[in-house]
Amino acid sequence: MNIKFFGIFAVLGCVAFGADVNAAGRSSMYSSINMTNSDGDTIRINRSAYESYSNDYAPRASRAGMYDNINTNYEPRHYSQVKPRENKQTYVRGETYRKSAKRKYFIANPFYQPLQFQFGSVTTGEYLEGKYNFGNATGEVARKLKELSLKEDLSFGLTDRIALQAMGKYNRDKLTWTDTAGAGTDEYKSNGLNLYGLGLQGRIVDTDDWIATISGYYEHQKHGVDYFIADLKAGYKVATSTIYGLARGWLVNMDGDVYGDYMENLTTNEWGMLVYGDSTDTVFMGELGMGVWTVLAEDWTLNVEGLYGFYDWHDQFSIKGAFGWQPNDWFALNLYAKTSLYDSADDKTLVVHDGTLPATAAQFNDPAHYAYVDLSKFREWSVGLQVMFQF
């Protein structure tokens, strides 16, 4: 290969290649790796609309054996309302109780949302790397995506139980195809404000033992991809921990689009495309998961979450862990890492198309210009830091 390619993606199903793409090409990589948009920018669909800690949190839990009777629900309660016990033996304990009650809840809890007329802000910086190989008997290509992103989630309490949420995300991506036989590497780079959205979250249950939220969002990718997202989360409070389950669903509007990795050589007028899928209507994706959030020490928390996702044509199981540090009432840091443990993309078969410019429907559908390839060695991981405020 030994030539630097430029990635452009202009394969609207009804215009460029027609809507009758071979059924073998109807595969989808909607999930964790990437798509490419109509200008060739690499897109990674945000599988968890507002990543685990971005917009929904919960109150500070009581520490059994250390702080008795701390209010763990969302009822506004100022520390001045909490009086220390009268006898000398319990006075110090009461003072600690009062200090704890002053901070109503940890910001990094996955059920948090601001009370009425309060703001919550989560700024997330993330590095993601996703890779796999694709090929057949004639050769193999190692495909890798590296992505740096910065995302802002801003929430505002309309009432104590309903919050308005807005988000925007900036991506900087590098996509490479490397011939494993040593023939060279093709690459494409892109950057820009790639995704923005708006939604509502409601805290529908909050008692001493149970908490639950339900959310609905609309997100728009800058080149015309629309996401309609629903999120339900429910947890049971046990001492200093909350054990919870979650369910998420997406309707992705990809009308008439063929999508995948596309490389184009403007010098030789050659193009190649690894097709993830084509769609003439909306596509459904979903995730189910379990997690636990717990207070480790005075200012430290831990959150572990396992997710099983079904992303159109393939499934994935991943695990995510996060340490949170909150030294005061209004500021917190959350450091997290996530990795895939299983993905059914391994051994799946996709289609690679090639040809000369201009790309046409006839060329795209010509058996002489496409070949079936198998995916292998799938792996994805990410690390990130979240800076959190409430005010």
CATH number at 186 reads 2.40.160.40
Q: C-alpha 221: how far from its chain's center?
A: 14
Residue 112 within any structural domain of the chain: yes
Residue 86 within any structural domain of the chain: no
Instruction: Tell me what the mean pLDDT of segment 305-320 comes to.
Output: 94
pLDDT, one tens digit per residue, over 348-365 is 999 999 899 888 888 888
Residue 15 within any structural domain of the chain: no
Whole-number Å distance between alpha carbons of 219 and 273: 27
Query: How many distinct structural domains can be found in the chain?
Result: 1
pLDDT, one tens digit per residue, over 91-147 is 344 444 344 434 447 899 999 999 999 999 999 999 999 999 999 988 999 999 999
For 34-43, 124-133, 149-158, which range has the lowest pLDDT when averaged over its residues?
A: 34-43
pLDDT band at 188 (very low <50, low <70, confident <90, very high): confident
State the DSSP string of 326-384. Answer: --SSSEEEEEEEEEEEEETTTT-EEEEEEEESSP-HHHHH-GGGEEEEEEEEEEEEEEE
Residue 220 structural domain: 23-60+103-390
Residue 66 within any structural domain of the chain: no
Whole-number Å distance between alpha carbons of 239 and 292: 12
Residue 381, pLDDT score = 97
Residue 67 within any structural domain of the chain: no
For 54-68, 76-90, 134-148, 227-241, which range has the lowest pLDDT when averaged over its residues?
A: 54-68
pLDDT band at 178 (very low <50, low <70, confident <90, very high): very high
Residue 96 within any structural domain of the chain: no
Q: Could you tell me the pTM of the whole model? A: 0.74
